[in-house]
Amino acid sequence: MKVAMLRSVVRRSTISSSAAKTYFSSRGFSSESVPERKVAVLGAAGGIGQPLSLLMKLNPLVSKLALYDIAGTPGVAADVSHINTRSEVKGYAGDEQLRQALEGSDIVIIPAGVPRKPGMTRDDLFKINAGIVKSLCEAIAKYCPNALVNMISNPVNSTVPIAAEVFKSRGVYDERRLFGVTTLDVVRAKTFYAGKANANVAGVNVPVVGGHAGVTILPLFSQVSPKANLSDEDIKALTKRTQDGGTEVVEAKAGKGSATLSMAYAGAIFADACLKGLNGVPDVVECSFVQSTITELPFFASKVRLGKNGVEEVLRLGPLSDYEQQGLEALKPELKSSIEKGIAFVHSS
């Protein structure tokens, strides 16, 4: 579904607003009711931000695209704005323009913050990124408290709880509207599985649950479709490669950052799913790190059904293999402490 979607995004990239209307009418929207949707990208001049801005510009569900960063966004916005697709693009730079960037946003995507270098864990980014995310979420609480927030900045296992605490402290928290973006884990699990199973990757589906760091990333290959006959050893190797996917890219980039292009793709897939949910498209399901009661942990990544208010339903894990059950128990202490670290940060700063 994802590869098909990107193909269709790319195909749609050449369409004009009249073609956008055809697109909408073929999906049940009358041309009069094409929903206006504003998307803001915070960190839009960065390694993820730039290609993500491009992909959001290609999405016909977006009518306004606000590109915000501490600097550099006028150039990115001028560049992207020349693409002949539906959305109107504006760039915003610096604290004083954050309000304008956010006001009226339906979705705020946050890839702001520093990336890893070789030898670092995602948690090593906490010191810098926790403060960045906190201040951006304070602005969201003020200027667009009803927006869906797609949190990309690492460590996601802590930045999502930080956002929740900020929103609670401002009296605007709605757990249905806050998402940690874990789509890249799903993208990787599909790619790696299809490679090993010699399957057509376009048809592969596999949920990835837990969190977004090391062992907290738990792909559920026992639930993959279509099912291939892989050995236990193969499944273990695929699980490890999915868990270490981010590190594989960090090491290959050798000091020049972490995944940006595959992350932009994953972020665009997830934002598109949120837009479809907001627009009332039925049965939109993606994995995401959200407030959850499906385990004893207060936040957990699993499949969620998206709708007009954000999360409509957090889906249960379903049957797990013994190996996955062990992985689930093993990830809980680390995920719990990352969540607690995020919560404590907001109360101590």
Q: Which residues are catalytic?
A: 212
b/e sequence 294-324, b meaning 16+ C-beta within 10 Å: ebebbbbbbbbebbeebbeebeebeebeeeb
250 binds, among ligand NAI, ligand OAA, none (CB under 5 to 8 A by kind): ligand OAA
CB-based closest residue to ligand OAA:
246
Closer residue to ligand NAI (CB): 138 or 175: 138
State in angstroms the smallest separation of the CB of 260 from ligand OAA.
9
Q: What DSSP designation does 309 have?
A: T
From residue 179, alpha-carbon distances to 97, 105, 210, 236 in Å are 24, 15, 13, 28
Closer residue to ligand OAA (CB): 163 or 259: 259
Q: What are phi and psi of 198, to 5 degrees?
A: 55, 40
- Told to check if 54 binds ligand NAI by CB under 6 A, we report no
Closer residue to ligand OAA (CB): 210 or 246: 246
Residues lying near ligand OAA in the complex (CB under 6 A) = 115-116, 122, 154, 184, 245-247, 249-250, 258-259
Closer residue to ligand OAA (CB): 235 or 250: 250
Q: Would the annotation count 154 as a binding residue?
A: yes
Q: Which of 87, 105, 258, 279 binds ligand NAI (CB under 6 A)?
A: 258
257 binds, among ligand OAA, ligand NAI, none (CB under 5 to 8 A by kind): ligand NAI
Q: Which residues are CB-neighbours of 266 under 8 A, at least 6 positions away?
A: 181, 183, 184, 186, 187
Q: Would the annotation count 153 as a binding residue?
A: yes
Residues 261-290 that bind ligand NAI (CB under 6 A): 263
Q: Is 153 helix (H, G, I), strand (E, B) or coil?
A: coil
Looking at the DSSP assignment, which residues form a beta bridge with residue 89?
65
- Told to check if 156 binds ligand NAI by CB under 6 A, we report yes
Q: How far apart are CA 116 and CA 90, in angstroms?
A: 29
Closer residue to ligand OAA (CB): 246 or 327: 246
Q: How far apart are CA 221 and CA 213, in angstroms?
A: 18
Residues 322-341 that bind ligand NAI (CB under 6 A): none
Strands 299-307 and 284-291: antiparallel
Strands 217-219 and 310-314: unpaired
Looking at the DSSP assignment, which residues form a beta bridge with residue 69?
93
Q: Which residues are annotated as a binding site for substrate?
A: 116, 122, 154, 188
Annotation: binding site = 43-49, 69, 116, 122, 129, 152-154, 188, 263
> Which residues contribute to the site for ligand NAI (CB under 6 A)?
42-43, 45-49, 68-70, 111-116, 125, 129, 132, 136, 152-154, 156, 181, 184, 212, 257-260, 263
